[in-house]
Structure 1
Amino acid sequence: MSDSYAAPSFVLGGRAGGLDARPGQAHGAHVMGILNVTPDSFSDGGRYVSVEAAVSRAAAMLSNGAAIIDIGGESTRPGADPVSAGEEADRVVPVVEALHERFPDARLSIDTYKPSVAAAALEAGAHIINDVTGLRLHPEMAAVVAAHDAALIVMHSVGTPGGLTAPQRYDDVVDAVRDGLASAIARADAAGVQHIAIDPGFGFGKTTRDNLRLMHAVDTFVALGRPVLVGVSRKSSIGKALGTEDEPVPVAERLFGTLGATAVAVQRGAGLVRTHDVAATVDFLRVLGQTLVSGEA
């Protein structure tokens, strides 16, 4: 493992419990399992809306090797309608409470950009806030995270909820994403957040070509000095890369394409991988990581 990644900034401490997300480890990368407690998510909407179903799903992902469970109460799929903070909290908080009671050692992340939802979830036992707006809409989110000594994931995106996935025009998508993430880190630092990870926002406001360029440029984002999370699981750009722009392959047939993009991202330094397919991704990363480490020996 490169000495350049030995800095504490690559370890998510505080409530996150010292998760070492440095690049180049034998397990490949830590896996974040997606738990959508929404009726309308693009891949699994409606399957885990009850607390019992959500807990059962989380239990399976933890047993399959997930290091983090990422709980989302509002869909970011194209055209999804935003929900109120109250409704989102009503979906998320009971699941956090149930998981915290049953799996007290499990790391729980909340996929939200709303400070009040984040505060309620953190008070219920969550450890990480995953803000898909990168503090753009609610900079006060950073103060909420800092007050709870939680970890914060800031993702690059543009626009507002309901339109976050609409493609944008960039002079250079890599430069734009790097600069946006650097600004988000600076905001979080200024608010006293000690534990920060970054996400290039694969699929959010980027074309298929943009998204593939971002996977190839993960090392550029690693150079910002924070763990890099990639979330490519089953997304439309994977479907289009496997098929065509007009006829992408179906969501259920995108696992191998997802793993292909994941391999490039991890080889270039990603330390966290967000996915629907925990068991397959954990196995894939374990072999990839050992192969990469052996090649450095």
Structure 2
Amino acid sequence: MTINCKGELIDLNLPKIMGILNITPDSFFDGGKYKDEKSILLQTKKMLEEGATFIDLGAYSSRPGAEVVSEEEELARILPIVELLTREFPQIVLSIDTFRSNIASKCLEAGAALINDISAGRIDHKMLPTIVKNRVPYIMMHMKGTPQTMQQETNYKELLTDILYYFSERVSTARALGIHDIIVDPGFGFAKTKEQNFELLQKLDLFQSLNLPILAGVSRKSMIYKTLETNAENALNGTTALNMIALSKGANILRVHDVKEAVECVKLYKNLNNYVPSS
């Protein structure tokens, strides 16, 4: 199971780590931490040295109830950082966290390698054609509504059945357009209650029926810190525990704030399962 990022085939049979780099003032955990070139470069260097295969760069917070950011503001925030990171780290595999096709297009032109879309092309209908044009891997997430409305969109006939149907439709549409490298993200915390998030994790292995790489993003989310009666700052141990469960259920990519600990999870998982690289 591989994806092609700028001519490099990345094998996802051994799970990989995607480090989160938010350059937003209002993200739920790290909002405002990385607001100048020095802090951004230091954090990126740290995550790459710790073993991140991908760096996921976002300039629009998708936390529940996040404020709307104009396309102009999002582009002004993110494009200079894409240019900075691809210049300072020429081998970086940079993922762009956006649901807007114009942002995706500009960032890909500047050297980004793949797109991470929380809406799976449902908010901006030009997104899928943009992916086709640029021939890049595409992460499609499950979400209902928007970040502003999603927590009022938690009603399902049958949670897993509904989400799998959503992906079958989205994947079919993408395939018909000629998109080949697709990764699915069940969307922990997006239009789901705490109980639904745990059900989703418990049954994550069902997504293997799609025959596509699975991305799991539970890092420091409320399903962890509300259960443990703490906060996002103190949710690393809980994140590590759930990351190992995600790996055991078939996750191919862990999207995390804390790369070192996630890499250690993968190393332990590899030894637990006697992983042998594919030939």
Q: For the superposition of Structure 1 and Structure 2, which TM-score range results when normalised by the shorter chain? A: over 0.9
* Gap change, CA 1:109 and 1:16, over 3 Å in 2: farther
Q: Which residue in 1 is equivalent to 2:182?
A: 196
Superposition RMSD in Å: 1.6
Question: Any idea what the Cα deviations from partners look like across 1:229-279, whole Å, max 9, x if unmatched?
Answer: 000000001112223xxxxx1111111111221111111111000000111
Q: Quote the offset at 1:217 in angstroms.
A: 1.5
Q: Which residue in 1 is equivalent to 2:9?
A: 18
Unaligned stretches of 5+ residues in structure 2: none
Q: What secondary structure, in the 3-state scheme, does the structure 2 residue paired with 1:273 have?
A: strand
Question: Any idea what the Cα deviations from partners look like across 1:9-45, whole Å, max 9, x if unmatched?
Answer: x3111427211112xxxxx520000000111101010
* Gap change, CA 1:241 and 1:167, over 3 Å in 2: farther
Q: Which residue in 1 is equivalent to 2:240?
A: 259
Say which of 210, 217, 223 aligns to 1:224.
Answer: 210
1:162 maps onto 2:156 in alignment:
no
**Which deviates the most, 49-58 or 282-291?**
49-58
Give identity over the alignment, percent: 36
Structure-1 separation of matches of 2:220 and 2:231: 9
Structure-1 separation of matches of 2:152 and 2:3: 31
Q: Which residue in 2 is equivalent to 1:73?
A: 59
Q: How does 1:1-297 map to 2 (within 5 A)?
A: 10-15=1-6, 17-22=8-13, 29-166=15-152, 168-243=154-229, 249-293=230-274
Q: What secondary structure, in the 3-state scheme, does the structure 2 residue paired with 1:222 have?
A: helix
> Does the 8 Å CA contact 2:137/2:180 hold for their aligned counterparts?
yes
Question: Any idea what the Cα deviations from partners look like across 1:102-138, whole Å, max 9, x if unmatched?
Answer: 1111100000000000001000000110000111112
> What is the aligned residue count?
276
TM-score, normalised to structure 2, is 0.94
Q: RCO (CA 8 Å, sep 6+): is it higher in 1 or 2?
A: 1
Question: Any idea what the Cα deviations from partners look like across 1:56-89, whole Å, max 9, x if unmatched?
Answer: 2111100000000000000011221111111111
> Does the 8 Å CA contact 2:100/2:124 hold for their aligned counterparts?
yes
Q: Quote the offset at 1:166 in angstroms.
A: 4.2
Which amino acid in 2 is paired with 1:126? A
> Does the 8 Å CA contact 2:5/2:114 hold for their aligned counterparts?
no
> Does the 8 Å CA contact 1:108/1:128 hold for their aligned counterparts?
yes
Q: What secondary structure, in the 3-state scheme, does the structure 1 residue paired with 2:150 have?
A: coil
> Does the 8 Å CA contact 2:243/2:265 hold for their aligned counterparts?
no
> Does the 8 Å CA contact 1:33/1:276 hold for their aligned counterparts?
yes
Q: Quote the offset at 1:47 in angstroms.
A: 1.0
Question: Any idea what the Cα deviations from partners look like across 1:194-229, whole Å, max 9, x if unmatched?
Answer: 211000000101111111111122221121011000
> Does the 8 Å CA contact 1:156/1:180 hold for their aligned counterparts?
yes
Question: Any idea what the Cα deviations from partners look like across 1:130-152, whole Å, max 9, x if unmatched?
Answer: 00011111232011112111110
> Does the 8 Å CA contact 2:150/2:191 hold for their aligned counterparts?
yes
> Does the 8 Å CA contact 1:167/1:207 hold for their aligned counterparts?
no
Structure-2 separation of matches of 1:111 and 1:276: 14
